[in-house]
Structure 1
Amino acid sequence: MSKHILGHFLNLLLPGQRCEVEVYAAPPGRALSQLLYNLALKQKAVQSSTSGSVGTAGKAVDRYRDANYQSGSCTLTNVQSDPWWRVDLVNVYTIGTVMITNRQELENGLDGAEIWIGNSTTFSNPKSIRCAVISHISKGQVFYFPCNSMKGRYVTVFLPGSAKVLSLCEVEVYYGQMTAFMSGCF
């Protein structure tokens, strides 16, 4: 059973343990459970191409954060110019945060990728808004991108450039305004 606690600091001491810690905060008057629903989970996803039969677009919304491509939980496009991946949230939502899990085998694979939110399947539509540019996500790690309450039905990850491969192990999309802090296991 989880409890809602107000405060400014979190101290966690686990002697001999080195694990991931995630802390979420909801705005006053909002239930945290409303914010933690992954809008992308099991929704229809498509990508610009698929390399082989394993790296299909739906692997990024299957709820498994496994960052090892060989486990069958990551997407993979062919080598191409400007590869992209997109999820259809079915309805228009106010998106607070997009979370991406990078592949274990590709340290710099997502560097320069862009996260777009909009109501058109064409992310370059003038009404689509760029939420973030990924500067770097370490291999096998998860990173949160605040989208400042952008509204949209489609979330697209676009990797500009020639001879690129786009591989995502999980993409999670959260409603509303959410603050999330995370530290990985070492």
Structure 2
Amino acid sequence: MMKGSRFKLNQNHAPIHEALETFRRMRVVPFDVPGHKRGRGNPELTEFLGQKCVGVDVNSMKPLDNLCHPVSVIREAEELAADAFGAAHAFLMVGGTTSSVQTMVLTACKRGDEIILPRNVHRSVLNALVLCGAIPVYVNPEVDQRLGISLGMRREQIEKAIKEHPKAVAVLVNNPTYYGICSDLRAIV
């Protein structure tokens, strides 16, 4: 059991999937969103995604927990993820990676703060900088000339940026990059 965990953690347990399967077997008739009504309202979507997928695409309700304030299956899944990653906490997000990336930047930075990041950062980071008013300190990753792709950030590049900008409040590393290039996070940290 992880320190502070409410659940006996078992990495062979899939709490959200298991709750969705239990809920599916309950045969509840949905009158809420999503509008495809477990596939009956949109046969084309069901054909594309499959009945198994749309059959468990349901709204937040008590047996399935709530992502905005998880207390049961979602909270257990987050604790399992944190345990698996060796992290103090892990949070499940919606809205793709954009909302997660923006949350990280908006949490770490305020107007006028400097943040060190690669020049090839995702546009969600740039949008977060606009929202919070932080100042980017760009590190230009090297380019693999043979493949024509940007590489990851090197420890030496980040070290130089930190020395030149000692008041920077955060370092953001794309890892992996869109091309699957990983930076040496252990060395960077």
TM-score of the superposed pair, with normalisation by structure 2: 0.25
State the structure with more CA Rg. 2
- Which structure's residues are more often helix, by fraction? 2
TM-score of the superposed pair, with normalisation by structure 1: 0.26
- Which structure's residues are more often strand, by fraction? 1
Query: More relative contact order in 1 or in 2 (CA 8 Å, sep 6+)?
Result: 1
